[in-house]
Amino acid sequence: MKRYILSLPPELLVKSLEGLSVEDVVRVAQTCSKFRSLIKSNKATLCDTSDSHMLKLPLDRPLNTVPSELLHIRAVQSLKTASRIARSPLDLREKISIPISGPGLEYDPANPPANFFTHKNILVFRCQSRLVIMEMVEAGVIDKIVHFQLEIGEYRYHIGYQLSEDESTLHVVSLAYHPKQKVSSLQVREICISHRAFGETTFLFRLDLVAAEPKSVSIRDPYAAIVTRVNCIIVDWRREMGIILVVKDPARIERHTMHTKYSNRGIEMVHFHPTQSSMILSSACSDGEGEAKFYTAFIPTDMSPLDRGSESSSEESSWVTRKIRPRAVPCYTARPDDDFHCELVPIGFRRLPDSTWVFQAVGYTPSTNGHPGHVIGEPSPVFQVVYDVSDWTYQTDFLDITLTGKEGDLFFPMGNYRGGGQVIFPLVDVTTRDDNSYIIVPEFGNGSRHDVGWVKLKVSDLPKKHRSKDKMPDVKYWKAIFPAVDLATRRLYLCLPKGFFVAEY
């Protein structure tokens, strides 16, 4: 009498999978619906594999905290990503021009698209004074596009994004600053990005301010934060209330604020915790000795009402102002043999498969005053820091790369990392005639985008903007070229002099 393996009890089927690799278990799940259901409902089938380490969570979180179905999804994604990274550097598969045209909308190489947000097939960016929302069915093929005017005039823009929990809507906060008139306009919109009602926009809030030059803006419903060179402005746009915070350095007793006129010093940005009533204030600079450059504070509850119909409401003197000393949190610990200056770039909050949140940052060794912070031909540290925000323990992982020629002159963070996206580090030597260059991008997990890894992408046909012997390349110019990358869709967006392109890998 024939006996079939599927007739065995579930516990024996689970036992039969012990010791297999993650890839083997995933392949077994693909053979039939019974095995697929068994594996998706029994986490032991993946936790007891011979190479379960490839599924590990940051900060040594145990795998058994992840629901079995999510663990299976993680395993499938991990195999795809591991296969992709194994071929690093990834070759360019296709590069397609993205048309930008329409009433009041055109591509200007001198003022290229900026303030990018990417999610699956959704692409959002600012083109001059208009916000553009695209849905692409594939690289370069636009299914739907909408755009609208932000402000009219000579404004400088800061834009922040928040994706809803069900991924159907996008909250957008825009801050338009007029440098001559010294005024700002804060606006909040809700944009539908689901296919059926794509582009439907609800205008939620507007506030005109007479304020100092802004550094950044961020959003988490119902809050928006503006960091300026002299203070932080927190607004509850649902209740129409606000407060001005002057941040004091917790390490100094004297009246020393953490605000500065320099664009790359002092408090740079506010990151709202996704679910709690707290926020992280980030200051990008560090020195490799563990000095804290991230600070935590509670979102103020003593905000005052905003009388938006009054002219005085736009003046800071009419606001409640409070001084705060945030709590410094650990930054990172350098390795014993490290002796370098570095800067930390906050990426923001990421949710892990076990539904907990971590805070992510990337560190690098910058060029300073025309001199690279590394030795040409020797490894230059780039590293990631993952913080457990429940107790501020952290994990630090280094990548040593060797920069050749003049690559170090452009080794700066680029991309849409300020919008919760990815950071891009270009490996570009503008003095050579080699047509091929590379970028490196942190891969946050083997498919989960949370663990540590790095992906190297080949880029071609970049402009060769040369320089004199003693002049550094224009970093701002190159940051505009590399506005965004999305590893989930394997797309790199490029703003080149001859047009706007998407490169697919």
Task: Compute, in degrees rounded to 10, the torsion defined by CA atoms 20, 21, 23, 27.
Answer: 0
Q: Are residues 393 and 481 in the same domain?
A: yes
- Asked whether residue 401 is domain-assigned, the answer is yes
Task: For 451-491, write each residue's pLDDT tens digit.
Answer: 556 788 888 888 876 554 445 567 888 899 999 998 778 89
- Phi/psi at 165 (5° precision): -60, -40
Residue 390: what pLDDT? 86
**Pair 167, 117 in one domain:** no
Report if residue 136 sits inside a domain.
no
What pLDDT, on the 0 to 100 scale, is given for residue 187? 96
Amino acid at 74: R
What's the average model confidence in pLDDT over 356-362? Answer: 88
Domain boundary among 307, 331, 355: 331
Average pLDDT of the residues in 237-241: 95
**Mean pLDDT along residues 139-157:** 88
Domain that holds residue 103: 94-122+345-505
Q: Is residue 132 part of a domain?
A: no
User: Highest-confidence range of 35-39, 56-60, 104-108, by mean pLDDT?
Assistant: 35-39
Least confident of 152-161, 293-302, 374-383: 374-383
pLDDT of residue 364: 82
Q: Are residues 302 and 351 in the same domain?
A: no
Q: Out of 123-137, 141-155, 230-244, 417-431, pick the least confident.
A: 417-431
Mean pLDDT value across residues 159-163: 96
User: Does the structure show a pLDDT above 70 at 103?
Assistant: no
Helix axes 22-29, 33-41, angle to 10 degrees: 130
Tens-place pLDDT, residues 391-414: 888 888 777 677 766 677 788 889
Whether 263 maps to a domain, the answer reads yes
Q: Are residues 232 and 116 in the same domain?
A: no
Closest to 497 in 3D by CA, of 460, 462, 458: 462
- What pLDDT, on the 0 to 100 scale, is given for residue 351? 85
pLDDT for res 380: 67
> Considering the domain boundaries, does residue 140 fall inside one?
no
Amino acid symbol at 72: H
pLDDT at 450 over 50: no
CA distances from 429 to 123, 270, 402, 503 (A): 29, 34, 13, 20
Report yes or no on 394 lying in a domain: yes
Q: What rounded mean pLDDT belongs to the chain?
A: 82
* Mean pLDDT for the stretch of residues 100-109: 76
Asked whether residue 185 falls in the same domain as residue 251, the answer is yes
Tens of pLDDT along 188-224? 999 999 988 999 999 999 999 887 889 999 999 999 9
- 357-364: strand order across its sheet: 285-286, 342-351, 357-364, 379-388, 393-402
Q: What is the pLDDT of residue 447?
A: 41
223 and 202 share a domain?
yes
Query: Taking 50 as the threshold, does the pLDDT of residue 249 lie above it?
Result: yes
Check if the beta carbon of residue 453 is closer than 8 Å to that of residue 85.
Answer: yes
Q: Characterize 174-211 residue by residue with b for buried, 16 or more Cβ atoms within 10 angstroms of its Cβ, and e for exposed.
A: bbbbeeeeeebbbbbbbbbbeeeebeeeeebbebbbbb
Residue 129 maps to a domain:
no
Q: How far is CA 467 from CA 224, 439, 474, 494, in A?
A: 41, 21, 9, 22
- Res. 175: pLDDT tops 50: yes
Task: Compute the distance between CA of residue 175 and CA of residue 178 in angstroms, rounded to an integer.
Answer: 10
The residue that leads in pLDDT, 4 or 448, is 4
d(CA 296, CA 277): 11
Q: pLDDT digits over 20-44, tens only? A: 998 999 999 999 888 999 999 998 8
Q: Are 113 and 130 in contact (CB under 8 A)?
A: no
**288 pLDDT exceeds 50?**
no
pLDDT of residue 165 exceeding 60: yes
Q: Cα(387)–Cα(330) distance, rounded to whole angstroms?
A: 9
Domain boundary among 331, 353, 376: 331
Show which of 66, 86, 106 is a domain's final residue: 86
Rounded to an integer, the average pLDDT of 83-105 is 74
Name which of 69-83, 155-169, 189-203, 343-357 the model is least confident about: 69-83
- Whether residue 145 is contained in a domain is answered as no
Render 88-154 in DSSP notation, one character per residue. PSBPP-EEEEPP-EETTEE--TTS--EEEEEETTEEEEEETTEEEEEEEEETTEEEEEEEEE--SSS
408 lies in the same domain as 430: yes
| pLDDT recorded at residue 73 | 86
- Do 183 and 290 share a structural domain? yes
376 shares its domain with 476:
yes
- 501 and 455 fall within a common domain: yes
> What does pTM read for this prediction?
0.84
In this prediction, residue 93 carries a pLDDT of 82
pLDDT of residue 287: 47
Per-residue pLDDT at 284 exceeds 70: no
- Confidence at residue 274, expressed as pLDDT on a 0 to 100 scale: 94
Q: Say whether both 363 and 289 belong to one domain.
A: no
Q: Residue 343 CB: number of other CB atoms within 10 A?
A: 19
Residues 171 and 223 in one domain: yes
Tell me whether residue 339 is exposed, middle or buried, using C-beta atoms within 10 angstroms of its C-beta: 0 to 12, 13 to 18, 19 or more. Answer: exposed
> How many secondary structure helices (H) and strands (E) does the chain include?
6, 33
Count of domains forming the chain:
3
